[in-house]
Amino acid sequence: MAQSEATAAPLAQRARPTLRRDPALRRLGLSALLIVVAWGLRLAGDGADAAALHTAAMTAAALISGSAVARRALVGLRLRAPGIETLVTVAAAGALAIGEHWEAAAVTFLFDLGGYLEGRTLEKARAAIQALAAAAPQTARIRRAAAGPGQEVEVVVPADAVKKGDRMVIRAGERIAADGIVSRGQAEVDEAALTGELLPKAKGPGDPVLAGSVVTLGMLEAVATRTGQESTFARIARMVGEAEAARSPVQTAVERFARYYTPAILALAAATWALSRDTHLALTLLVVACPGALVLAAPVSLMAGIGRAARQGILFKGGQRLEQLARVQAVAFDKTGTLTEGRPEVVRVWAAPGWSPATVLQVAASAERASTHPLALAIVEHAKQRGLPVGAVDVPPESVRIVPGRGLAAEVEGRRVLVGSRAMLEQHGVVIAPAVEREVAFEAAKGRSVAMVAIDGQAAGLIALADRLRPSARGLVTRLRQVGVRHTVILTGDTSEAAEAVAREVGIDEALAGLLPEAKVEHLAALRRRGWVTAMVGDGINDAPALSAADVSIAIGVGGTEVAMEAADLALVTDDLGRLPVAIGLARAIVANVRQNLALAVAVVVALVAGVMVGSVHLASGMMVHELSVLAVILNGMRLLRWQEPHGGARRAPQPPTPGGSSTQISGLAGRASAETVT
């Protein structure tokens, strides 16, 4: 059987600690029991025997709890990187040496308990990474040809044995082993572990499916397109792992500081003892000056924030990129495939007097069958959707002549047909009437591509095509401003009319069109010269140079090109642009959380050291406050696991496109009926 969601159960079971399975928990339990027994003996009597047993129990408790601390201290010393454990070990040993057995037991037990709680709490911050591990597909059911003619069998193979082109069969409760395209069947697919979408998606023939997602209802057959380490699941898991392992500048600086801080505190304690001859004071100074909360201030926030982002379908590639994202002031967008869906569609067919829209569309589609240009494919597909007999029309292949960048000429049922630009028609001597000119200007003002159609030397009409705006682009700029972005710009190789039309509809500040990849790089450099931290959002190979040139690069859709994904600092798993303001807002929240933790850690150390100097803080109470500060830092960081975008950034429901003027629409979306509409 292919892997089901039950696979996650062993992971959860391993995460639940018990006295029988967890040595650290047994050690803490025994140490706590000895401390309770020791105090019981002290309260039971004041005799020499009771005092001796009290001392023995406290010493045993200190040795049991301190054993793990001492082992970690020795490792640090061997690596020439003494840490907090060294300070605690020296303080506990000194307390035992001067007869402060309770203090030694309290210091080691509290430090050991704090470390245990810290580890258990941090495990929750790794929940997203653990969820990805649990979602890893293990096996796949593949349909293959059998020995007999026309016969097929289903075989179960390891997930990493699936090859491109294999036909995968996935039933309810099973995980999809590789990215693919549905070839047969209907099903509901849960992609929550990958994209953060809470509701299952309906999938049918032609729809993409992602490795690691679960079929919750129905059955699918899908042809594998990305397998093994190239699958969406593997790429997400790899990026999340890299992000967790990467160090942010703040984290690196704190860790470097801690390497020098520990020897400095040892030297300060020694100097304090040399001047005051007060061993208890020197040992207390060692304990309260432990930089535990300081060292944890950055990693706990980063881990929790990266985990939260992964659950939202947002993948940071490391702490440094995250800190840069928190400072972004200007965002540049590619247009085609980023703000728009990258799939042109016919939005209007206009016919000149004496011609009908149906004739214009049918003749143009019949001629365009010989072309593989995206606009030609859109025209043919639209004609088929309208039920026009495109395939029945005879177009001799030798009659078709494609002129790159202009259009094509063909013979359709004995008629000479031109489909293309104004230059194409003028080259063949077609006179363009003022009425046609007005319609072309009208469509160009809307940023649409126009294919003019001429039949037997007369301009018969035009076909307007548009690349549909992503629904998630509407309201995007408003939400970006709410998270602190000051400037937005489109950088595109498309026409200025198309770029300006999208900019108007989305609300983007500036549109720069007709740009080659190197020109996009130059414009990003200009934004940086204005003092703005910049982000570039793109999805294609031509975006890679601009992505590399920005302070922060963002790729949308992990199914996008490998080049764009590798060049990007941040990846949005889905094509939902609404995740972008969420990513920036979360990055700012993470950085703010780190600063809160650092401030708390420094304030506690300063307050404790001051308390020691005036005699109000002692060894056990100092360790108690120290451990509480560590837990406070952890819990503050853990708040990021439940971070939500502020209410003001709630996503608006997508609004349907508003038809312009009296234009005749024959799109499935517009559906307006008129005298000239093809039905």
- pLDDT above 70 covers a percentage of the chain that reads 78
Q: For residue 16, what pLDDT is reported?
A: 53
Q: Are 359 and 556 in contact (CB under 8 A)?
A: no
Please tell me the distance from the alpha carbon of residue 199 to that of residue 191, in angstroms, as a whole number.
8
Which residues have CB under 8 Å from 298's CB, separation 6+?
Answer: 248, 250, 251, 254, 319, 594, 597, 598
- Catalytically annotated residue among 166, 179, 190, 334: 334
Please tell me the distance from the alpha carbon of residue 634 to that of residue 328, in angstroms, as a whole number.
27
CA distances for 373 relative to 341, 410, 576, 608, angstroms: 17, 15, 27, 72
pTM of the full structure: 0.64
Q: Are 423 and 406 in contact (CB under 8 A)?
A: yes
CATH class for the region spanning 344-468:
alpha beta
136-177 pLDDT, tens per residue? 788 888 988 776 666 788 888 888 888 888 999 999 888 888
**Domain 305-340+470-587: assigned CATH number:** 3.40.50.1000
Ordered by start, the domain boundaries in the chain are: 139-174+178-226, 305-340+470-587, 344-468
Of the chain, the end-to-end C-alpha distance in Å amounts to: 49
Please list the helix, strand and coil fractions of the chain in percent, rounded to the nearest 5, in that order: 55, 20, 30
Mapping DSSP to helix (H, G, I), strand (E, B) and coil, where does residue 247 land?
coil
Mapping DSSP to helix (H, G, I), strand (E, B) and coil, where does residue 30 land?
helix
Instruction: Please confirm, yes or no, whether 334 is among the known catalytic residues.
Output: yes
Please tell me the distance from the alpha carbon of residue 339 to that of residue 480, in angstroms, as a whole number.
14
Least confident of 2-16, 78-92, 212-226, 405-419: 2-16
Please tell me the distance from the alpha carbon of residue 4 to that of residue 170, in angstroms, as a whole number.
11
Q: For residue 592, what pLDDT is reported?
A: 92
Other residues' Cβ atoms within 10 Å of the Cβ of residue 635: 11
List the one residue out of 434, 471, 379, 423 whose CA is nearest residue 655: 471
- DSSP conformational letter for 339: I
Query: Six-digit token pair at 634?
Result: 């952890």
Residue 528, CA atoms < 13 Å, CB-side half-sphere: 14
More reliable by pLDDT, 242 or 28: 28
355-371 pLDDT, tens per residue? 999 999 988 998 888 77
569-614 pLDDT, tens per residue? 788 877 788 889 999 999 999 999 989 998 998 898 888 888 888 8
Q: How far is CA 202 from the centre of its chain?
A: 23
Estimate the crossing angle of helix 48-78 against helix 84-97, to 10 degrees: 150
Q: Are 638 and 300 in contact (CB under 8 A)?
A: yes
**Domain 139-174+178-226: assigned CATH number:** 2.70.150.10
